[in-house]
Structure 1
Amino acid sequence: MEQQIVSIEKAVENDEVTSRPLLEVQVTELVDGLFIACSISHCVVDGTSFWHFINSWAEISRGLQAVSKLPILERWFPSDVDPPIRFPSHMKQKKDFDGLTFSSSPLPAERVFHFTKQNIAQLKAKANTELNMNNNKITISSLQALISHIWRCIIGNQVHDPEAEVSLIFPVGVRQRIMEPPLGANYFGNAIRACFIRMEAKELVEGGVGKVGLEINKAIGLQTQDGLKRCYGDWIKHLDFGNRREMRDNNTVIIGSSPKFDIYGNDFGWGQPVAARCGPMIYSDGIIMLFEGAEEGSIDVDVCIGYDILEAKAKDSQFMDVVSL
């Protein structure tokens, strides 16, 4: 009997590390395959390191004598700060975190939408055509165009006040993009920075996939080494978890994971994985996880959002026209 594997990624809340394991793994044997579930703390790793761990585990399971990419375990720390960072006693009390991470809305629904390589190329071409009409010389990437399309469709089906402020939060890796000297692709830890974009709902929905993609492109371009060091330095001087409040905003969409992570190469000796899924996450009213698709160049978009919004998206021809079921 051919056995297959499904991997699942879930982040444990940072403030729970004193009472919950940093890593939890559960293997469930199915009639025709296996399901491997992993829960890991974002305090320890980001998505790059998480999938590095899974990739290495799969190689070891297949009987390889050594993993192909050894992790870099030397920790990076701001040069002008002496570790460890000590938190004031009042910040260690659980009450300071209560209510910051969970939405007041009912538990969200979840659905996976599949975008083929051709669908994504179509979105990219549309975004850049719109920009070229305005003599803009910046090129929008495939991923930026896809995120733009998803954000616009979610807000269009969710926010009815055209003047309401809406936000997008997405991660940017800093290993080699920002750090100088680079940390190295195999740096094992948490090396991402959150990007924030705020717009009026009307501007987002009516602006077109090109204009919104341009805002995403600009936000990424603003991530520099000096800005990163200043951000970390300021946070250490003024320890604060207040930015998590924004994740509870009903008008905020959060992007997680990346289609660049190797999922379908994780053969544990039982065959190629059939799918990757993310457990329900309730940080906000809109969590979008991006995974590598089974076909080359495709992307699976795991949407965790309110049921009514998810139903509206499924009936939205603008969104579904570039989705393959």
Structure 2
Amino acid sequence: MPSQSSSPVRVVSRHIVKPPPRQRERIPVTLWDVAMLSANYIQKGLLFAQPPVPTAELVDHLDATLADALAAYYPVAGRFVTEQHRDDHGDVVGSTVFIDCGGQGVEIHHAVADGVAVGDVIPPDADIPLVVQSLFPLNGAINYDGHELPLFVVQVTELVDGAFLGFACNHSLCDGTAFWNFLNAWAEVARARLAPAEAPPAEPESRPPPLFERWSPDGSAASTTMLPYADLSALGKRPTPTPTPMRERMLHCPEESLAVLKERARQELLAAGDPAGAAALTRFQALTSLVWRSISSARRLEPDQQTVCFVAADNRGRLRPPLPAEYLGNCIKLVLTGAVRASELVSRGHGWAAAAVGRAVAAHTDVSIRAHVAASAADPLLRPGRLFPANAVLMGSSPRFDMYGCDFGWGKALAARSGRANKMEGKASLYPGRDGGFDVEVAMLPEHMAALEQDDELWAAVSPDAAPAWATKE
């Protein structure tokens, strides 16, 4: 593979894709959406074996089917606009952000990665290589840029023996649930178009349409959210880059290891006299708490330094009444455990940490969500900067996202990866394992990653990327 000092990836063409014409409308964004304006776009991608058609034809195929998907998901092809509000004296007293659904379009980029093969993108038992960052569009873009930039861009990169689809989606437009719903809807259209002509027509999947109506606490049609700022340009401030490049690894926790982790934590809680905590344990809590403890140990925190674990929680099913899964927008909140001293996090054990994560998630109810929304509406402080404190751990993404159901017509993806967007030291993300279990993506400073690699408790539960047979054939 070519040296990574200069990227081997060349973009050879760019094309705008627009939805069918329709009546123009504006959709107000909520406080959940606006809170993401200073963060990066979502960058997630899928690695595929060699598609059955040349890449140029593949790009044309994806172009046509994306236009069809945008017919239903037309806000994705819009842009943000900000409207200023004035008082009776003409002074600006606030601003409201909308999605202008004017069919401005999304983009498809066709790129070529000279000399880069599938095995170079997912090398066995190694860091995620830097070349992966070049497989994504809109590197460095933040969501505020959606006033000018497309809200969605896909880069189709031709590899020596495969293809990588790198997606960049504005995080103030939608969260991970809505993002993967859109990708799977597009993949469904693309897959049907590539079916052999002689094959019987496939029964259409009963996929509910996306929901664009904004959620409001009182159940009425949501009104616009006016922010008490005359100028939102401060939200366009770029995140401060990490002075030292981070190392990233993707680890796999198979089903049997998840079961062992959960049972170990359960037994510890029973022994500690916490049957309720033991009964409520989930695989997610067991793995998240292990990652929290392992990262905290690898950082060599001082014994009295405090740490917390943040978890990105989907509010949809927690609201009463629940918000449909098809809601296109942000409906997430970072929930956090109570603060604990680093020495206590290690000494109290895995079961205690798992229960702490469980209590934080269980406390995130309809009542707490509505209280948070009310407090945010009364004082909508929007501060560019870190997503979480320096000593904390953030668990993002979700193993519930249907990443490997995104079959565009030439088979299941070989692997899911992310770009450099929203990466901070101590950020971890959970993915579904391709063939079961969970995958964990971890970003850390080099010295901390080196210490993490010496953590026997972690490595007893996870395995590094191997060289699976499906990396070269299906």
**TM-score with structure 2 setting the length:** 0.62
Deviations 1:137-156 (A, max 9, x none): 22311110000001100000
Instruction: Quote the Cα distance in structure 2 between the aligned partners of 1:318 and 1:119.
Output: 12
- Give the 5 Å matches for 1:282-293: 282=422, 284-293=424-433
Instruction: Quote the Cα distance in structure 2 between the aligned partners of 1:11 and 1:173.
Output: 26
Give, in angstroms, the shift of residue 314 of structure 1: 1.4
- Give the 5 Å matches for 1:221-240: 221-240=362-381
Instruction: Quote the Cα distance in structure 1 between the aligned partners of 2:352 and 2:341.
Output: 13
**Residue 49 of structure 2 contacts residue 163 of structure 2 at CA under 8 Å; is this kept in 1?**
no
3-state DSSP class of the match of 2:368? helix
3-state DSSP class of the match of 1:62? helix
Bigger-Rg structure (1/2):
2
Report the equivalent of 2:313.
172
Report the equivalent of 1:204.
345
**Residue 214 of structure 2 contacts residue 221 of structure 2 at CA under 8 Å; is this kept in 1?**
no
3-state DSSP class of the match of 1:289? strand
**Residue 136 of structure 2 contacts residue 155 of structure 2 at CA under 8 Å; is this kept in 1?**
no
Give, in angstroms, the shift of residue 281 of structure 1: 3.8
**Residue 423 of structure 2 contacts residue 443 of structure 2 at CA under 8 Å; is this kept in 1?**
no
Give, in angstroms, the shift of residue 159 of structure 1: 3.3
Give, in angstroms, the shift of residue 78 of structure 1: 2.7
Whether 1:272 and 2:412 are equivalent positions in the alignment is yes
One-letter amino acid of the counterpart of residue 77, structure 1: S
- Give the 5 Å matches for 1:87-106: 87-89=227-229, 92-94=232-234, 98=237, 101-102=239-240, 104-106=242-244
Report the equivalent of 1:37.
166
Report the equivalent of 1:304.
443
Report the equivalent of 1:131.
269
Instruction: Quote the Cα distance in structure 1 between the aligned partners of 2:354 and 2:417.
Output: 26
One-letter amino acid of the counterpart of residue 364, structure 2: Q
Q: Which sits farther off after the overlay, 41-50 or 268-277?
A: 41-50
One-letter amino acid of the counterpart of residue 238, structure 1: D
5+ long unaligned stretches in structure 1: none
Give, in angstroms, the shift of residue 160 of structure 1: 2.8
**Residue 112 of structure 1 contacts residue 300 of structure 1 at CA under 8 Å; is this kept in 2?**
yes
5+ long unaligned stretches in structure 2: 1-47, 52-117, 122-134, 193-201, 465-474
Whether 1:3 and 2:50 are equivalent positions in the alignment is yes
Report the equivalent of 1:72.
211
One-letter amino acid of the counterpart of residue 155, structure 1: S
**Structure with the greater relative contact order (CA < 8 A, sep ≥ 6): 1 or 2?**
1
**Residue 293 of structure 1 contacts residue 299 of structure 1 at CA under 8 Å; is this kept in 2?**
yes
- Percent identical: 30
Report the equivalent of 1:108.
246
Distance change (3 Å), C-alpha of 1:11 and 1:98: closer
- Give the 5 Å matches for 1:251-270: 251-270=391-410
Give, in angstroms, the shift of residue 318 of structure 1: 1.6
One-letter amino acid of the counterpart of residue 127, structure 1: A
Distance change (3 Å), C-alpha of 1:274 and 1:27: same
**Residue 175 of structure 1 contacts residue 184 of structure 1 at CA under 8 Å; is this kept in 2?**
yes
One-letter amino acid of the counterpart of residue 110, structure 1: E
Give, in angstroms, the shift of residue 259 of structure 1: 0.7
Instruction: Quote the Cα distance in structure 2 between the aligned partners of 1:114 and 1:212.
Output: 21
Report the equivalent of 2:4.
none
**TM-score with structure 1 setting the length:** 0.89
Instruction: Quote the Cα distance in structure 2 between the aligned partners of 1:286 and 1:21.
Output: 30
Report the equivalent of 2:359.
218
Give, in angstroms, the shift of residue 191 of structure 1: 1.2
Report the equivalent of 2:107.
none
Distance change (3 Å), C-alpha of 1:11 and 1:210: farther
2:258 to 108, 114, 120: 120
Instruction: Quote the Cα distance in structure 1 between the aligned partners of 2:379 and 2:292.
Output: 32
3-state DSSP class of the match of 1:36? strand
Q: Give the RMSD, CA atoms, in angstroms.
A: 2.7
3-state DSSP class of the match of 1:234? helix
Aligned residues: 320
Distance change (3 Å), C-alpha of 1:111 and 1:277: same
